[in-house]
Amino acid sequence: MVQTISPTPYDTWPFTVNLKSIRLTGAQFEQLCRDNRDLRLELTSQGELIVMPPTGSKTGQRTFSLASQLASWALKNGTGVGFDSSTGFTFPDGAILSPDVSWIRRERWDALTKEEQEGFAPICPDFVVELRSHSDSLSHLQNKMQEYIENGACLAWLIDPLKRQVHIYRPDHDIEMLDDPETIAGEPLLSGFTLNLHELW
């Protein structure tokens, strides 16, 4: 008997598929992503598959503004390389995650082989940003931010347009929360970078 999978309402995304007994390899996960290009897929360190739909239009516009501002700074600054939301990284704990926006210091990126750079690079970005959409669980994103820090990120921003708040994560620091800020500065890691939040609210 063929079982049909009904479309999942957007307000229940993302959803988790338990693949712990299979334990996908990095190559298998990469093939799965190629076969399902309309979905954003991530793999947790416990072997669970996280399935997300394409972003909504407003979230896409916000992410574009965020990525554009970081890209403009990164090109002028030259100390690192930036990545968009379609980029997957293989973390030290085995998870393969795709931050909405990320940045890696150039010396760390250049230390990878060309082959590693072409795949889901085995590296945790120095800086990551997650932008909450209407379908995102805040607690899920908060756990994800902690995972970024535990895997080596030096700075992580969780931007919540729904509440007009920014949660700032750093290693060995308490989480800092900003209410309705106009800008956020990336000092000292991102010297001279200031994110204008006007387009994100």
How far is the CA of 184 from the CAs of 66, 87, 151, 195, in angstroms? Answer: 12, 23, 23, 5
Q: What is the mean pLDDT of residues 158-185?
A: 97
In this predicted structure, what is the pLDDT of residue 8?
45
Task: Sheet with 15-18: list strands edge to edge.
Answer: 15-18, 48-52, 40-43, 96-97, 89-90
Poorest-pLDDT segment among 13-22, 60-69, 109-118, 138-147:
13-22
Q: What is the mean pLDDT of residues 50-71?
A: 89
Per-residue pLDDT tens digits for 73-84: 999 999 999 999
Cα dihedral 59/60/66/68 (nearest 10): -170
Q: Which residues pair with 51 in a beta bridge?
A: 15, 41
In this predicted structure, what is the pLDDT of residue 62?
94
**C-alpha to C-alpha distance for 160 and 146, rounded to whole angstroms:** 16
Q: Is the pLDDT of residue 6 over 70?
A: no
**C-alpha to C-alpha distance for 165 and 108, rounded to whole angstroms:** 31
**C-alpha to C-alpha distance for 30 and 119, rounded to whole angstroms:** 8
Both structure tokens of 46: 């416990």
